[in-house]
Every structure is written in C-alpha cells, then in structure tokens.
Chain A
Amino acid sequence: MRKILVLLLLCPYMSMGQQQQTIKGIVQTPNGTAVSGAAISSAHTGNIVMSDHNGAFEIKIARVPDTLTIRHVSYHTATHVVVSNAAVQVVLHEGSNELDGTMVIAYGTTTRRMNTGSVGKVSAKDIAVQAVGDPLQTLGGRVTGLTVTQSSGVPGATVKLQIRGRNSIAQGSEPLFIVDGVPFAAGNEAINRLTSVLTGEGAGLSPFSTIAPNDIESIEVLKDADATAIYGSRGANGVVLITTKKGKAGKTTLQVQVSRAVNSITRSMPMLNTQQYVAMRKEAFANDGMAMTNSTAPDILLWDTTRYTNMGETFMGENAVTTDASFTLTGGSGNTQYILGGNYRKEGTVFPGGMYVQRGTGNLGVQHRSANGKLSINASTAYSYNANNLTAGDMGFTLSLPPNFPAFYNDDGSIKWEEGGVALNNPMSYLLRDYTATTQQMNSRVLVSLRPLAGLVLSTSLGYNVLRVDERSVTPIASQNPAGNPLGTLDIAGNRYQGWIAEPQVHYTSKLYGGRLQLLAGATLQDNMNEGLSIKATGYTSDQLLYSLTAAPVVQSKSNSFSKYRYKALFGRVNYSYRDKYIVNFSGRRDGSSRFGTGRQYSNFGAAGAAWLFSKEGFIKGLLPALSYGKLRASYGTSGNDQIGDYKYLDNWGATMPYQGNTALQPQNLFNADYHWEVNRKLEAAIETGFFNDRLLMSVAWYRNRSGNQLVQYLLPTQTGFNSIIRNHDAVVENTGVEVEVHADMIHSKKFEWRTDMNVTIPKNRLLSFKNLEQSSYANAYIIGSSLTATKRYRYEGVNPATGVMQFEDVNKDGLYNVADLQVTGDTDPDLYGGVSQYLRYKQVSLDVFIEFKKQRGRNYLYSLYSGNTVPGMRYNMPEIVLKRWQHPGDVTTIQRFTASSASAAAAAGSRLLASDGIYGDASYVRLKTVAISWAMPAKLLERMHVQQAMLFVRGQNLLTFTKYEGADPETQNLYVLPPMKTFACGISITL
C-alpha cells in the first residue's frame, strides 16, 4: 500500500545495545510534502514523538521488530513495522482523523483517543464557515452540554454561555475563559456602563467581540471533573479554552481573505396596519363604554388616520452591510516560526442613520527552539481595537408606535414634536443620541520552556490581558422636545479590566513498569483588576460644545469603582498510561483566593479519571472485528465556583452624593465574613466507539454534577436594609444529562467526500435539596425537585368566553389573587438541544450545512405585549395576531377583549398575566444556522496563477428557522429586542 524507504543511521550518543535504538524517519504526503505535527508512537515502549516542520522525527525504540503508529488530525492513521535500524519514510493520506487530532486541555494537549476527560472541540474549519463577528456565536449547537444564547442581534451584543446547566442558585454560571493560557480578564460579562441600543434584558457589549474568529485555531470546552478540577475554584462552571493560530514552518505563506455580507432580521411579527389599528382603538373604547376624547385618543381624533408607516421597515429594515478582510502571514525555519495576522471588519446595522461597528485586530506570534532543542520560547501578542457607533436610544420600542404616527419631520426638515396638540415621542430623535464605545483589548503571553534532560520540561508561562472600553453618549437638545426647555447631556464612562498571570510548571515524562508516566506540577499567581469611571454632565444650553466636558455647566453625577482579585494555587497532575490501553489521570489543586475573608481563603480540589481502551483487548478484537476503537472512561472530582464578586466579606462603606459639600458615606452591603467555598462534585461516565477503521465514531456520555454548600446571594426582605447577602446555604443543585455524538466519514474518495456530525444533549436541572426552604426567603422562588428556572406563578386559564377577559386559577376560591394562588409551573431549561452538520465535497466544490435545534419553553409574545403596561387596545401598535381577540360572548379565543383603559378588568388581567404561566410557551426551534458553499481553484489553474490556494465562497447564517414559537425569535424571545441576524456573505480567499 505504501512505498517505504529504508535508511540506516546510527545514533552516535547512545548505547548500541538491543535495548536502546533511535529510529529516524520522515512523514510525507503522497506528493512529497512534509507533514509536521504528526504523532509517532511505538507500540512496544509507548514512546510518542512529533514530526517537525520538515516532517522529520526521531523515536527511541527498545527492540525490532516494533510497530510505529503515525497519527495526524488531517490524515488517515498509518502504521509502519520497523524491522531494522534503517530510517523510515511514512506516507499519510488525507482524511479527517477525529480521534488523533490535537486537543488542547489544561496546561497541555492530548488527543481524543487518549483523553480521560470530557472535552468538546470546535476547530478553525467549523469557525471559518460561519459569517459572524463574535467567536462565541460560532459555538451554538456544536458542542454537547454547551448552550449558547445570543442576547440581541445588534452587532457587539453579549452572547451567554452555559456549560452543563446552572450550578449555582445565585452566583455566576459563566464558564472560565482562557485565551492562549491567559485568563480573559473581563470574563464574559457585559463590559459597558452606559445604556444604549445594545443594552436591556441582560444584554450589553460583549468582551469577545474584540476577538476575530479568523484568528482562532480551536475552541475547547472542558466539561467534567477530570478536565476542570485542575482549574480548582474557577472550574465549577466549566472552562472554555481559546487557542489562536500559530506560525507554521515552511516557505512564507500569505493568506488573504475578503468578504462582504448583507444582514437582515431573522424573524419578527407582522404588526397591524393603520386601518386595523384604528379599528382596534375604536373597538377598545366601545368595549370600555367610553367616548374618545382629545386627551384619551388623540391618535384617532387628532391625527391623520389614513397615514401609514411600517415601523419595522423604517427602523429595523435597512440591509446592513458587513465588510470583512483578513490576512495571515506564516513561515519560518525548523527552529523559528512566526505568524503575523490582521483583520478588519465593518458591520452595519439594520437601523437607519448609518450606525456601524468597526474592528481592527493584529496579532504576532513567534516560536523559537534552540538548536539543541533544550530551550524553546513561544511568544504571542494580539491587539484589537473596536469602535461601536450606535445610538443611546432604544430602537425596539418603535414597533409599538401607532402606525398612523404623524410625519417624523416638519416641512423644514426639523424633527416634529407635536401633532394635534399632543407631544410626540419621536423615534427619529433617538438617532441623534450618539453612542460610541471604543474597546481596546490586548492579550500577550510568553512561554519559556527548558528541557535540561530528556523527559523533563521546566516552563514558565507569563500572561497579560487588558481590556479597556471608553464610552460616550450624548443627549443633544435637538433630540428632546423643545417644549420642556431641554438641556443637553453628556455621559462619559470607562471600564478597564486587567490581569496578569504567572504559572511556573514542571512536566516530566518517563517510562514506568511498561507504561508511560506523565507528571505535571505547577503554581499560579494571578492578579485581576477592574476599574471604572462614569460622569454625567448636563446643563448644556447649546449642542455646539456637547462633546466637551469642560464646557459642561453642571456635573450631575460622577462615580468610580475599583476592585482587585488575587489568586494563587498549586496544582498537579499524574497521568499513567499502560500500553495505551489503561489510562488513569489524577489532578488536584490547592487554591487561595482574595474573595474570601481571613481563614476562609484556601481550599483543595481534585479529580480522578480513568479510561480503558477495550478495543485493544484481544478478545474484543475477535468478538467485534468491525470495532476499530472502543473506550470506556469515567471521572469524579470537585471544583469550585468563585464568581461572587470582590470584597464581599468586608463591611464596606462607600461614598454617596456629598451633603453640605462634605463627604457622605453609606454602607455597601450586609456584613458576613464567614462564607466559604461552594463545591461542585462532578461525576461522568462515557463510552466511545469507532467502527470501520474509525470512520464511524459514536460516543455517549452521562454526567451528574452536584453543587452543594451553595454560596448564595441570599435574597432578603428589604426590611433588612438590603435585598440580599452572601452566605453559604445547605442546598444542592444537580445537573444531569446525556450527551451523544456521532461522526460518520461516509465517503472519502478523491472526487467525492461526505462527512456527517451530529450531537444531542438531554440535560436536566433540579434543586435537590434546600434546608428550610419553606421558612426561607426563597420559599416562593424555588421548588425542591424542580429546575431552578421553574417558578411559582398563577395558572393561566385562557380567555373567559363570557367576559372576554383573561382568567387565572383562584386556587383557594377567595376571590383574590395572592401568594396562596401561586402554583408550580414548568421550567425554561432546554429539554434537548444539539446540531447536525454535513460536509460534502465534489471535486472542487464543497458544501457545509449546519442545523441547530433546541427544544425548550420560553417567553412568548404575550410577555412582550403586556410588559411595560401595554395592553391591546391602548395607544400602542400590536402584532396582527391580536385580531383573533374576543369580541362577543361565546367567542373562544386566545386574545382577550381590547381595552383602552388601565382601570378595566382586562388591563388588570394583563398585569396579572405577567405573574402567570401564560407568558410562557413552546420556544423550540430548528435553525438552518450555516450554509457555506465554496469552490476551490483546481491545481492547474493555481499553478498558472502562481498561487497555492484560491477559493470563492458564499456563506449564509441563520437562513431559516422552523418553529411553532408564538412571537418574534425563539432565541431572543422578545418582540422588542432585535432578533439575531440573517446573513448572506460572499468572498474570496487566496493563499500565496
């Protein structure tokens, strides 16, 4: 099957006995290109070495014959029998090798085959086909156990991640984010301080929008105890490792990619037109038995009722254009490699007024290894500059404006503020309220490794991450109704997150009793700091100097904040692999954190994992010849959750507004110095199998995470002076689930390839126990045995056919609705989620299709209709669906009678609805998330054009959504929040 070149070379420095031989060799593709990064392992000794940039390797073997196994992520695994000391040439054939590709784990790498823990991976090729700006958006549906929720479709908005459900009742449940070995200082919290079109409903400016997806080599999601316990107190919610691209040896290669995209909104609800709106208003007044007056119905009596503006099209209907350009330059010699990359992206919005978001990034990385291989240095730095030019106004509300809203501008082009004597909240004025946020982010790391002896590596990783955002928003006089003699306002705010980390480590690899022992010991010193500032200046009597703080007549408010987090730890790992068949892995960490009071600062965490590659057992081979890979693995261990905020153990007093010109102080929190670590116990068992030479891979994992000694922001009645206090509580939250992954390499031939990947997660969250729940302040918030998202609410019974008003179950029939009538209702956790991806290639044309699905309950359109005290019939436009309303006694329908009065029974029912289960419904969806078609230029053409590779591509994101969801988008679940974008992109990529 493969031609083998044999050369004999003697090792000059080692003994010549039978026991120690060094075999040299080279790994190549069929056309002779060197393959670097292939793992070569000896069946007899278990030694593993990697091929260098020339494809060359040296491996020690103990005897001949021995069998070498050569694995690489992009090629089919090959074996080679060594019969003499001659040099070896191995030819690898292209293909995907899911099992043996590099997988980044804590302080090292492994492969899926040898891993004892649970790690999900999204690689560069899956990221590349997605036309999105935030790398976190690329993860949705691609990793089992990971839920990804986009908070809004405004570019730069936060993306929430959760790994294996919510572990904590009150503390953060975001995973730990590590970029190239450096903890991301801002975590995944919204980094803005000012409100803007980005904020609301938990949304904000995403810190990860500063990273260009194109710069990322892989994103690993660490889930179980085996993978996360080494992160100790920070690992309870899982860990996300982002690894950027590295330099590659070989001739200098420049890759350039340019694309353009058009975005529009995925899904909204059609709203009433003027005719329907006017009819609704009239019916509402008739229902209430009230006559319309100029003050109660100016929209009907004083405004033109024939005028029509489609608000959705006017305010969210622009085709937003995105331009994205990037380059990557790599190259280097055997000892030194480098990468230089850059990305520019400009993304428009669907709002009018030319708002946009811009990003420029640059990254530089150098790896160097000394000639004798004893010293290696890996340094990288990435810088990113983002500018968000948006509006401070909330554009979502425009949908609820009456469709006969008067002309937005007067004849002279000025903003219209009044019609028929009624003041107008003119949405065009919001476009004048400039909001800009400029974010700069830098991530640098130096890793120095010393190999004084074979098998021993001493290294130190030094990292620095800083993210700084500067915000500015203005409320010009021109954006306010002149009737109120308005003054201009300037808001300035800043936020800086900064952290450094130093991690000395010792790695030791040795043979032991016929197996391979890997030891790791290390220490961490980490220092994080957050500093913020905000100033509100007002009193500007002219818009001319609105951007000048110096010109501000009055500083209305000013504040700054500061917090520091320090952390240190000792960690270690012992991994022993016997003949690549039996593997055990122990890891542990002792953590000290400044977030706790004296005497409570330290805690120990640890985990054990084991794997049995049963397919290597002779009897299995005989029993199941089709089985090419089979592994059973299990792990158990602990990790902690320290996302509690800084200084919470101190009884701090801080400044409030000065009184009489003197400093005034106020207490910041209730005092409790005694709280300590929350502990998360994770148990996992999984079976992984491969058939037909690993072309069909299947794995099933079961996990159970229990978080006890809950460190809760314990809700208190405000009669205590505050609404919460941090304390430990005897409560246990459990997350269990089953995760299934299937990978099928259906066809791979020269002309045609077809691969399928599928994953499904079936999670379950429940509150296992809570001491004295009934007597606690959580009595009505949580239910033992139910999910943390299950709440007690009124039971919605639909619209009463006789009265036309929504009704709710009055449990004790006392005619009143109060605590006694609240009942346990369903949760809003996903019941099931996952994704299916297909890769097809026919000759030069390839197709990537990715479908994400999620089965869940969520807020429906009724929530949007009734929140904010709006009720169908009032002076707000409504979705067309309200035409189903009740009109006559006997009507059986889902929308209650129209009303224009806040004192009506229907309006009262509306506010009760918000406390009922009526605002929840099926929010399941199947989304055609990604479709990418690309055409790679054939080799002949490439040669003629003197380029290595060239590709034309068309990509689509969020193209279709199949759902029964009643409302706008099932992911954002709010009619007035901008849904995720539907994107069409096309572009070209050339490698020189």
Chain B
Amino acid sequence: MTKNIVTRSRYGSLCSMVAALVIAFIAMLYTSCKKFVTVEPPIDKITSTTVFSNNQTATSAVLGVYSNMMMTDANFFNGAITINTGLSGDELVYNSTVDEVKSFYTNSLSASNSMIGDLMWSRAYSILYQTNACIEGLEQSAGVTDSVRKQLTGEMKLVRGFIHFYLANVFGDVPLVLTTNYAENSVMPRTAKQAVLQQVVKDAEAAKVLLSDKYPSAGRVRPVKAAASALLARVYLYMQEWSKAEAAATAVINNSMYGLVANTDNVFVADNGEAIWQLMPVVAGFNTIEGNRFVPGTATARPQYSLSTALLNAFEAGDKRKTSWTKVNVSAGIPYTFPNKYKVRSSTTVTEHYTLLRLAEQYLIRAEARVEQNDIAGAKTDIDVIRMRAGLAATTAITKAAVLTAIEKERRIELFAEWGHRWFDLKRWNSADAVLGVAKPGWKSYMQLYPIPHSQLLTNPFLTQNPGY
C-alpha cells in the first residue's frame, strides 16, 4: 500500500512537471515569435509611402500612367477613340466580322459591348485613379523635391483633364472623379457634361502653371506647358469660348519649339517638330496600335478598316495628305483605301510615337475661334498654313459661312482617323443628324452618345443609362 502511494504521487508530480514544461515551451514558442505573422512586404512590390518618398520612384509612378495608356489592346488611350468613333461616324468602313466591332459601324451598340465597358470606360477610370493616386501621393510627399513635384503634379493634372475631356465627349454626363476615395467614388452619379468640361479647364489651367516649358526627358513623350495650352485651346473651342480658345492656341503657335513639318510623311514619326505631346510605345514588337490595326499584313490583304468613299471624295486633287496618309490595297480585285498616318504595323524598332496633341490642330482651332469672332482674314491665314503644307492653294472662301465650311472640310481632311475629331466635330456643330442621317442607315440622334456600360449600372445604382439604350 505504501509503495503504491509513493509511486502514485511521484507519478503525479513528474507528470505535472513535464506537462508544465511542455506548456511553457509552447507558450514561449508562441510569444517569442509574435513578429512571425508580420511579413515583410512582397519583394516585387512597394507601398505608396515608399513610392512618393523620392524623385525616382515618384517619377516611375507617373511613367506608369503613360505606360498603361500604351498597352497594346485598342483601349481608350491607344486607338479605341479613333477606331470606334471612326466606325460610328462617317470615316471608317469595317470589313471584318467581329460582332462587337461591327456594332460600332452599324450603330447598333449594346450596353454590354465589352469594348465600351472594358476597353473604354473601365480603362479610362483605371488610369484616372492612377493619376489621382499620383496627385495625392505627391501632395503628401516630403521626400520629392519641389521642382519635380510641380512637374509631376502638372503632368497628372493634364492627363486627368485629357481623360475627362474624352469621357464627356464620348458618353455625355459622366462621374467626375477627382480623388482615390473609393467609398465616395463608388456611389458617384453622373456630373453634367458642362461641369466636367469646366473641371477639364481647371485641371489644364493648373497644369499650365505647374508644368515646365522644356520636356523633362528625351523626346516629346511627357507633357509640358504647351500641351496644357493646346488642351485648353481645344476645350475652350468646344465650350465656344472663342477668345480664350484663340489665346491658348496662339500661345502654342507662337512657341518656337513647334513648327509644322514640311514633309507630310513625317507628321507622325517620333519626336517631330509638330508634335506637342506623344506617347512612347512600351510593348515590344509594336509601334502604335493604330498602325498595327490599320495597316494590313500584306500588300494584297483586305484591310480590317478602310476609309469611306465620302471621306476619300472630300480630298481635293493634289492634296499631299491623300498620298501620304492613305494607302490602297487591292484584295480579290477590290481596292480598299486604309488610313496610313501611322505606317508601321509591327516592328522591333520604334520609329513612330503615338501623337495626342499636334500643332496643325491648333491652327484650325484658332481659325475657327477667329471666324466666330468675325476675324475672317485671320481665320483664312490659319487655314492656308495648313493647306499650303498639304500642297494646296489658298482657300477661296470669303463669307463667314463659307470660311466655316472651309474649316469644317479642312478639319475633316487634316484630322481624319485621329482621336475622334470628326465624330466630336459633327456633334458640336449639331450636324451629326444631318450628315449621319444620310451616311448611316438606321441612324438615330441618340446614337451620338455611347451607352453607359451595363455592368456599371449594375454595380453603381446611382448611374443612369443614356436614352435609347
């Protein structure tokens, strides 16, 4: 009996000792590595605070905006505006069979068209977020030097204005997003188009103050002060603020850094004298997406997109632009003329940059602003600068109405298949219904605005659809 008790108590104490030791061991292990679950940030990413802590990475963040604009799908910033509005309007003919593309040409857009939803709307707002994130990051940053902060903030404000300008002209009223606050942005309704354009003016004016005169890096692939003026000239023109438009255009035209390129073949090459703001291709194997999509693979291949007969007929005889900027492929006996402003379909070397703003447009903006202010002679001078370069004689228009018609025609030719100029012009001149009612079967006035993507109506109940869709 005694032995048994001894065994038991020894057993008991030993047992509790070991148990206590093990529990202590586990507890120690647990507490000693409290930091165990705090992992260092991923090695392939950095946090926002780090990004805007110095000039180099802050600049990289801004370059990221341009890089993403130049992704090689035909997105909002890289071909979608030119191609889609060209098809919707009277510039382009679609020769292939992809239904989503075709519906632009047949003006039968659906709100669930992914080219509108993903490539236009969502991509525009994705880059918009990026610009806002940069603007906010730069504002809060302590490590970025003042001059760099100014330049980068100016660049981002200009891009933000540029995005809102196109959103408003493509969709009408759109959410005006100026912060990265997703809680507010996610329930934001559409802002009236005029108010959006006012913000474009505000951003471009701010950019004009912040941006430097000289390009901050090689080429013309980051915006400078003149780009802000050029965008301002265009917005004021659209808002019919003629004197401001004229002043802004004049500021660019008088800037000695810019001059029309005599040889029309070279208007879209990298770093030419006429370019105010270009984007540099980032994906290997390509130059611009427009070159890639417009120029067919072989000399006998049928181009996906060709120019409409009406547009081709509008060229005057001897216009250098017709030979420089268009080209014919004969496929299965049928001639197709396609846009050839950008000539490189694919290449491993980059010779062409994608032009967002160029000087020729500024002359035509000023011409229109001048004639609207009854400066007929001044307007004619500007038109003739463009006509001369194209190898044409001076305009014969005399009356205000005739000069306006001349400007309309000159814009149609000079700016064809370029960033939707024709489509937006028809709309702002209120001639879309008259022109397209003839050119496009089944045309209805509501088609001037693209539908708000269906997926967005589902996720933001405060958005409304454009009429007709």
Residues of A in contact with B (beta carbons under 8 Å apart)? 15, 17, 20, 421, 452-453, 455-456, 458, 483-485, 504, 506, 508, 521-523, 525, 538-539, 553-557, 560-568, 570, 592-594, 598, 601, 646-647, 650-660, 662-668, 670-671, 715-723, 725, 774-775, 777, 779-781, 816, 818-819, 869, 902-903, 907-908, 911, 915
Q: Please, how many angstroms separate the alpha-carbon atoms of A694 and B14 in the complex?
A: 43
Q: A568-B30, A594-B38, A664-B64 are in contact. List 10 more A-B contacts (CB 8 A).
A: A484-B298, A563-B42, A564-B42, A646-B39, A653-B46, A659-B64, A660-B280, A663-B57, A716-B459, A722-B182
Which 8 A-B pairs rank lowest in CB-CB distance, beginning with the nearest? Answer: A721-B129, A717-B460, A718-B122, A659-B63, A664-B67, A777-B459, A657-B282, A664-B64
Report if B221 contacts A (CB, 8 A). Answer: yes
Bits for B16-42, please: 1 = Cβ < 8 Å to A, else 0: 001100110111011001001111111
A651 with B47: CB separation less than 8 A: yes
Closest-by-CB residue of A relative to B458 is: A780
Q: Please, how many angstroms separate the alpha-carbon atoms of A651 and B59 in the complex?
A: 18
CB distance from B452 to the nearest CB of A (A): 10
Closest-by-CB residue of B relative to A421 is: B332
CB distance from B217 to the nearest CB of A (A): 6
CB distance from A782 to the nearest CB of B (A): 11
CB distance from B11 to the nearest CB of A (A): 7
A525 with B33: CB separation less than 8 A: yes
A593 with B37: CB separation less than 8 A: yes
B11 with A453: CB separation less than 8 A: yes
B297 with A484: CB separation less than 8 A: yes
CB distance from A594 to the nearest CB of B (A): 4
CB distance from B450 to the nearest CB of A (A): 15
Count, A-B residue pairs, CB within 8 A:
262
**Size of interface on B: residues with Cβ below 8 Å to A:** 95
B47 with A653: CB separation less than 8 A: yes
Report if B141 contacts A (CB, 8 A). Answer: no
CB distance from A210 to the nearest CB of B (A): 26
Given contacts A456-B19, A506-B26, A521-B26, contact A720 B60 (CB under 8 A): no
The listed residue (B22, B44, B70) touching A562 by CB distance below 8 A is B44
A666 with B64: CB separation less than 8 A: yes
Q: Please, how many angstroms separate the alpha-carbon atoms of A553 and B347 in the complex?
A: 11
CB distance from A875 to the nearest CB of B (A): 9
Q: Please, how many angstroms separate the alpha-carbon atoms of A562 and B112 in the complex?
A: 35
Closest-by-CB residue of A relative to B187 is: A775
Chain A residues near B139 (CB-CB < 8 A): none
B46 with A652: CB separation less than 8 A: yes
Q: Please, how many angstroms separate the alpha-carbon atoms of A553 and B99 in the complex?
A: 35
A781 with B458: CB separation less than 8 A: yes
Report if B68 contacts A (CB, 8 A). Answer: yes
CB distance from A984 to the nearest CB of B (A): 43
CB distance from A320 to the nearest CB of B (A): 35
B298 with A485: CB separation less than 8 A: yes
Q: Please, how many angstroms separate the alpha-carbon atoms of A563 and B14 in the complex?
A: 45
Report if B351 contacts A (CB, 8 A). Answer: no
B188 with A456: CB separation less than 8 A: no
Closest-by-CB residue of B relative to A569 is: B30
Chain B residues near A556 (CB-CB < 8 A): 283-285
Report if B338 contacts A (CB, 8 A). Answer: no
Report if B253 contacts A (CB, 8 A). Answer: no
B187 with A657: CB separation less than 8 A: no
The listed residue (B38, B187, B460) touching A598 by CB distance below 8 A is B38
Q: Please, how many angstroms separate the alpha-carbon atoms of A504 and B32 in the complex?
A: 15
A715 with B459: CB separation less than 8 A: yes
B461 with A653: CB separation less than 8 A: no
Chain B residues near A652 (CB-CB < 8 A): 41-42, 45-48
Most-contacted residue by chain B among A553, A654, A665 (CB, 10 A) = A665
Given contacts A483-B297, A647-B42, A650-B41, contact A718 B332 (CB under 8 A): no
Q: Please, how many angstroms separate the alpha-carbon atoms of A818 and B280 in the complex?
A: 40
Bits for B109-141, please: 1 = Cβ < 8 Å to A, else 0: 011100000000110011011101100000000
Given contacts A484-B298, A553-B348, A662-B60, contact A667 B129 (CB under 8 A): yes
20 interchain pairs, CB-CB under 8 A: A15-B7, A421-B332, A485-B297, A570-B26, A570-B27, A570-B30, A647-B45, A650-B45, A659-B63, A663-B57, A664-B66, A665-B61, A666-B64, A670-B180, A670-B182, A671-B180, A717-B185, A717-B463, A719-B460, A721-B132
The listed residue (A554, A667, A719, A869) touching B188 by CB distance below 8 A is A719
B36 with A562: CB separation less than 8 A: no
Bits for B354-393, please: 1 = Cβ < 8 Å to A, else 0: 0000000000000000000000000000000000000000
Q: Please, how many angstroms separate the alpha-carbon atoms of A905 and B456 in the complex?
A: 25
Closest-by-CB residue of B relative to A651 is: B48
B68 with A666: CB separation less than 8 A: yes
B102 with A717: CB separation less than 8 A: no
Closest-by-CB residue of A relative to B184 is: A720
The listed residue (B22, B44, B298) touching A655 by CB distance below 8 A is B44
Kindly identify, within residues 120 to 178 of chain B, every residue whose CB is under 8 Å from any CB belonging to chain A: 121-122, 125-126, 128-130, 132-133, 175, 177
Q: Please, how many angstroms separate the alpha-carbon atoms of A818 and B57 in the complex?
A: 45
Report if B465 contacts A (CB, 8 A). Answer: yes
A453 with B182: CB separation less than 8 A: no
CB distance from A374 to the nearest CB of B (A): 12
Q: Please, how many angstroms separate the alpha-carbon atoms of A555 and B41 in the complex?
A: 28
Closest-by-CB residue of A relative to B28 is: A523
B298 with A774: CB separation less than 8 A: no
Q: Please, how many angstroms separate the alpha-carbon atoms of A723 and B219 in the complex?
A: 35
Q: Please, how many angstroms separate the alpha-carbon atoms of A775 and B126 in the complex?
A: 23
Most-contacted residue by chain B among A593, A657, A775, A819 (CB, 10 A) = A657
Chain A residues near B1 (CB-CB < 8 A): 17
Q: Please, how many angstroms separate the alpha-carbon atoms of A506 and B21 in the complex?
A: 10
Report if B43 contacts A (CB, 8 A). Answer: yes
